[in-house]
Structure 1
Amino acid sequence: MLSKDEIASYHKNGYLMVEDAVSPSQLDELRRLTAQFIEASRDVRESNAVYDLDKGHGPDTPRLTRIKIPHKQHPYFWEVLRNSRMTEVLASLLGPDTAIITSKLNTKAPGGGAAVEWHQDWAFYPHTNDDLLAFGLMLEDVDAANGPLMVIPETHRGPILDHSMNGVFAGAINPDDPLFERDKIVTLTGKAGSMTVHHARILHGSAPNVSDRPRYILFYEIAKADAWPILGAASYIHELGQRRFWEDLQERIITGKACLTPRLETVPVRMPLPPAPDNSSIFKTQESAGAKSAFR
């Protein structure tokens, strides 16, 4: 479990670093599975339901931006979330009843793996309250050169910035926004097995990987069970219908049980509409909408 000081720090700053979030054997298995997925991507020619391909991808040089929804691609990614120190951290910050929103294994290739422009997760999927967070489990050592997560502390208690460009939702803020305070950026590095935690409303991004090593971070995006999604966000759940939605909700419960009484709070909401020409991933959203880069 987290200490009172760690919990207080998370609520004040909007982020936290946790060491040894999984056991050495769990880390080894996650690495093994990741290597298998990357190896299998050599024969993939275009992005699909499993892979987002980066520029330069090919059979001799597999380059991915992401393995999509890994907890649905292999059960171990789900098992480790429910049975590790991550589970304890989740209980400390969100309580006994939690549900997954999505997961992704971001795999920045060496020598220029794609940046993630500055954004707030909340802009993509507003809910009835903001008890939402993301875990970022480092599968390899992450340093300043290979595209670590960066955050701006305390922005989770501020406004939701404009994420639009060219008349559509771009999934990124304009780096010229006066509320984007570069001088307050904190870079989150750590050893393999360490985990970042960040609130869904905190401003964050990550630069290209300019090192000669890959950067593998497994992200889980999670909500307290009484936080219900608002119609209009880019989510598959709105296409399910009532019966399938209920079945899907049961499958997404990490700890505890589903909540049928959503908690309504006064939270800032700006709907992610109109959608970008290609909103199949954050990378495609930012690129197709013409998001302005903060890393050039």
Structure 2
Amino acid sequence: MLSREQQDFYAENGYLKVEQVVTPEELAELQSVTDGLIDASRGITESDERFDLDSGHCADTPRLTRIKLPHKQDPVYDRILKHSKVTEVLNDLLGPDTVLNTAKLNCKAPGGGAAVEWHQDWAFYPATNDSLLAFGLMLEDVTEDNGPLLVIPGSHKGPVLSHHAGGVFCGAIDPDDPLFEKDRIVTLTGKAGDMTVHHVRLLHGSAPNVSDRARKILFYECASADAWPLLGGSSYIHSLGQRKFWEDFQDRMITGAPVFTPRLADVPVTLPLPPAPDNTSIFKTQISGGAKSAFA
């Protein structure tokens, strides 16, 4: 799927955009299912295990920041990850044995949909090695005014910046950190069906959606099967217990086979503890943890 040039670009810069990675038919199905889930949120008045509500959400005008764990809500999300060109990109970058850590569908409602402050995914879920990445599959056209992904090329090779404030994990860096190189920011826009890829240690964020269109991006956070999560992250997997974890793990296998001997690499790790007062989503973590906004 990927050319040697594309793989080298990802290795050097820590991100990549792959155009039209799903077929028109696959995209239409994803859009239809997603619209159905958003419609189903009309009767919800508080964030729950399925939906993270944005301010102003109501039955007449549903406003979501996120659909949680979409791969557990409809099989189309799981199928696209495991049986499409998305799968080929994954194997080109992580090898034959891969596993899904989690998935989410960030909806970013129009007219001020919440920003995601600058952060490195690695700060949320460190592992035994950093062969992890996130896909961002665009379900609608993404333009500069509706909160596109912002990245800093090459930052995956640098340090993991502090994501703490006031003694708790706030899920965001301090925008005044001297190692935050604002002048190197790249904006990743694209057409529906395009997909971004970013390394687990890449600095990234996204501004509020100030357009009149929702920004729907389906994120898959994937790992090489030899990269095992460290205890201390906020993922639901840590609360399952051994047997349920094993059952869930088998469902999350994407390609290849499980690897029971973790690869231990010399990687920088700071556990995301103590947790923010509300760590039910990145949005709640950043707000309740007192993160300083780069977009204020």
Q: Under a length normalisation based on structure 2, what TM-score does the superposition of the two structures give?
A: 0.99
The whole-number CA distance in structure 2 between the counterparts of 1:42 and 1:242 is: 36
Q: Give CA-to-partner distance per residue, 1:89-143, whole Å, 9 cap, x none.
A: 0010001100000000000111000000000000000000000000000000001
- Give the equivalent residue in structure 2 for 1:29: 29
1: CA distance, partners of 2:52 / 2:235:
17
Summarize the alignment of residues 83-162 of structure 1 with structure 2, pairs less than 5 Å apart. Answer: 83-162=83-162
Alpha-carbon distance in structure 1 between the residues aligned to 2:236 and 2:136: 22
| Runs of 4 or more consecutive aligned structure 1 residues displaced over 3 Å after TM superposition | none
Cα distance, 1:238 vs structure 2: 2.0
Deviations along 1:256-293, one digit per CA (max 9) or x if unpaired, are: 11100100000010110000000000000001111100
- Shift in Å at residue 209 of structure 1? 0.2
Report the residue type matching 1:249 in the other structure.
F
Structure 1 residue 243: Cα displacement: 2.0
Q: Which residue of 1 aligns with 2:219?
A: 219
In structure 2, distance between residues paired with 1:278 and 1:287 = 8
**In the aligned structure 1, how far is the partner of 2:26 from the partner of 2:94?**
23
* Cα separation, 1, equivalents of 2:86 and 2:242: 31
Partner of 1:282: 282
Match of 1:167 in 2: 167
Distance across 2 between alignment mates of 1:5 and 1:79: 28
Q: Which residue of 2 aligns with 1:71?
A: 71
Deviations 1:58-84 (A, max 9, x none): 011110000001000111100111111
Show CA shifts across 1:224-283 (max 9, x none): 000000111112222222222222211110001110010000001011000000000000
CA distance in 2, matches of 1:237, 1:106: 20
DSSP 3-state at the match of 1:25: helix
1:147-193 deviation per Cα after TM superposition (whole angstroms, max 9, x unaligned) = 00000000101111000111100000000000111100000000000
What is the CA–CA distance in structure 1 between the aligned matches of 2:216 and 2:205, rounded to whole Å?
15
Residue 43 of structure 1: aligned partner: 43
Task: Specify the alignment match of 1:61 in structure 2.
Answer: 61
State yes or no: 1:257 paired with 2:257. yes
Paired letter, 1:161: L
Matched residue of 1:179: which SS? coil
Code of the residue aligned with 2:255 in structure 1: it is T
Structure-2 separation of matches of 1:110 and 1:238: 34
Aligned mates of 2:221, 2:185 — CA distance in 1: 22
What is the TM-score of this pair, normalised by structure 1? Answer: 0.99
Count residues with an aligned counterpart. 296
Query: In structure 2, what is the Cα distance between the partners aligned to 1:105 and 1:236?
Result: 16
Quote how far apart the aligned CAs of 1:14 are. 0.1
Secondary structure of the 2:219 match is strand
> Within 2, Cα distance between the matches of 1:177 and 1:75?
42
CA distance in 2, matches of 1:169, 1:16: 28
Q: Which residue of 2 aligns with 1:176?
A: 176
SS of the residue corresponding to residue 215 of structure 1 reads: coil
Give the Cα separation in 2 of the matches to 1:185 and 1:146. 17
Percent identity of equivalent pairs: 68
